[in-house]
Amino acid sequence: MASKGASKRLSKEFVAMQTSPPPFVFASPDEKNILTWNYIIRGPPDSPYAGGEYYGALLFPPEYPFKPPGIKMYTPSGRFQPDKKICFSMSDFHPGTWNPAWSVATILTGLLSFMLSDEMTTGSVTSADRDKRILAGRSHEWNRKQRRFIEAFPDYCGEQMKDLPNMGERDRGTSDSDVSSTTPTPTSLAARAISSVINGTPNPNPHSQQHVTDPVKPGGASAPEPQPVAPPLGWAASWKETVWNKWRWGILIALAVVVSRLSSI
């Protein structure tokens, strides 16, 4: 049974997963037990797992977030043994390296990063990239036949595989039609997204536009917009203005002298 602290923390993380899921992963708690979370990982492009859909579970202890979860992947992937606990730094195999600040999003992003590596550990298997691609192509049909998957993700059980809420586009910051020949590869984009979630740093985006905000006064109010500037005068108007500024006082003095003499006659 979950402790009060674990329930509060996992409820908060469920909201975060719904509103801002990390790239290529998605998860939700079991309806009957908040300590058991079901997840989906999608294989990033340009990886042996491209097009794959991998289903698994996070098994949280009642003491979470002070103790790490157990992690399983059920879908055959060529990387992990199905339904076996996976040993890596964010799992219950390594409580000494666990950081309570890590979340469901961090764990799954770390699992995806570990999946893309070749490091061997408890729960992993060795296979050729060709075999991984074959399993990736069969993964969705395999998942659709699993009762646990159907109950956990009814919206993802259609004949056609459905994209997760975040398939990396928001980290790219641009649509496919805007991508030029200098655009980073999907693999590098996935790596940046993974790094940003784990390290808590923003993901660099070469295609993002700089937005200019209005200047703000110390009081918090926006500064007034600059008034429009009158267009420059033409040469004729400019000449007249120069002559008038230079000679107007002389003309006025001359008129005063004439008036004075007329008045003395």
Q: State the catalytic residues.
A: 87
The closest alpha carbon to 88, from 119, 131, 42, 47, belongs to 119
Phi, psi dihedrals of residue 173, rounded to the nearest 5°: 75, 20
Neighbour tally for 180: CB within 10 Å? 8
User: What is the spatial distance between Cα 76 and Cα 145, in angstroms, rounded to a whole number?
Assistant: 13
Question: Counting Cβ atoms within 10 Å, is residue 171 exposed (0-12), middle (13-18) or buried (19+)?
Answer: buried
Closest CA to 55 of 136, 132, 131: 136
ω before 23 within 30° of 0 (cis)?
Answer: no
Phi-psi region of 44 (alpha: psi -120 to 50; beta: other; left: phi over 0): beta
Task: Please name the residues in contact with 231: beta carbons below 8 A apart, sequence gap of 6 or more.
Answer: none
Structure tokens at 7: 């329930």
The two three-digit tokens of residue 247, written as one number: 């000679």
The residue type found at 86 is I
